[in-house]
Structure 1
Amino acid sequence: MMPIKSLCIYCGSSPGRLDAYAQAADSLAEAMVRRNIRLVYGGASIGIMGRLADRVLKLGGQAVGVIPKALAHKEVAHHGLTELHVTHSMHERKMLMAELSDGFIALPGGIGTLEELFEIWTWAQLGLHQKPCGLLNVAGFYNALIQFLDHVLAEQFVKNHHHALLMVESQPEALLERLVNYRSPGAEHWLDQDET
């Protein structure tokens, strides 16, 4: 069991429709700071991303942003962070976020959040990392996605042990507890030869 000192949080650069999304960001920030877990995120000052970073910083925690140069120049970069890394590309951004983190959580967000979640989950399936992946299902935001992923499992396009690599909870503290206590299944559960 690897200690979690830093968590990468994927989330929206928009606030979303419900106040519950911002409240979940606050709750997750509070739970992380209580556990002395550093935030690694996309580096923006707006939306759920900005809300999460602001709350972590206000509580005395550390927030590390990673943002591509193209977005930083549009003045959405958060300039009050513990650290801000500006990358040349989105690919470099995602790789650095993964390297800086001991685990991953997706809050509500849009296409970018989904893409980041699925990529890091795929990397876990391939055995490229042994870090925990979590989905914070705030106010039922991900209900339809969870149902679809169960369908993918039922249709035998993903195996049970790979499906189980993505941990789902509706409360930040419950999800953090699972990530902190996560034990990697090991190489025997990496991508099977018949799935390539």
Structure 2
Amino acid sequence: MKTELERQVEALGPERCLFPSSGEPIDEIVQQLESINPIPHPLSRNHLPSLFGNWQLVYASKGTVVTRSFVSIPAIGQAIKIKRVWQQLVAGGTEKISASNNAALDLPLLGEWQLRALGVWTWGMDEQVAKVKFSTFSLQATQPFGLSNWSLPELKIPVLEFLQNEALWTTSYLDSEVRVGRGATGNLFVFRRESLPDVFGKV
């Protein structure tokens, strides 16, 4: 199933996978994987290490916050190249995970820029669903105007406490290579762990 998932993702293409689309074959494969989820309680203390690390986003059924904004402004969105979207999860204390959502973009004339959202996962008795809240957003020119040997300082924008929205996030599938998350609105996200030579392998 993971081999077929990899094939379908490659057929759709790296950028189309991150924009809203009708990706029914991919959704159906993910549902099959979810039905045999080897780690049904990913937020339990024993399985937390399996969540930590860098995860590349390879598919989003309804797009992402960034790509949905591109769709709403086609003239700008078509000119922007998405180089990479990834998430970093690290231990953040008792029943907490520090999360960093990142996107590297190539902007016309402006060069390569990185967007980052920093937040925290918390949870209670349910060891599959976490509450996610982001407290800081940042922007950095990593290769301004195409200059690879130059970068600008990161600009961090804190979010006031009363403006921080809390969302529910379900980790519906997890193994050593692939992770599936579902948002409260039904958006489906497929991640693969970075720095592995064969991320999908075979089930």
Higher strand share: 2
TM over 0.5: no
More helix by share: 1
Please give the range of the TM-score, normalised by the shorter of the 2 chains: under 0.3
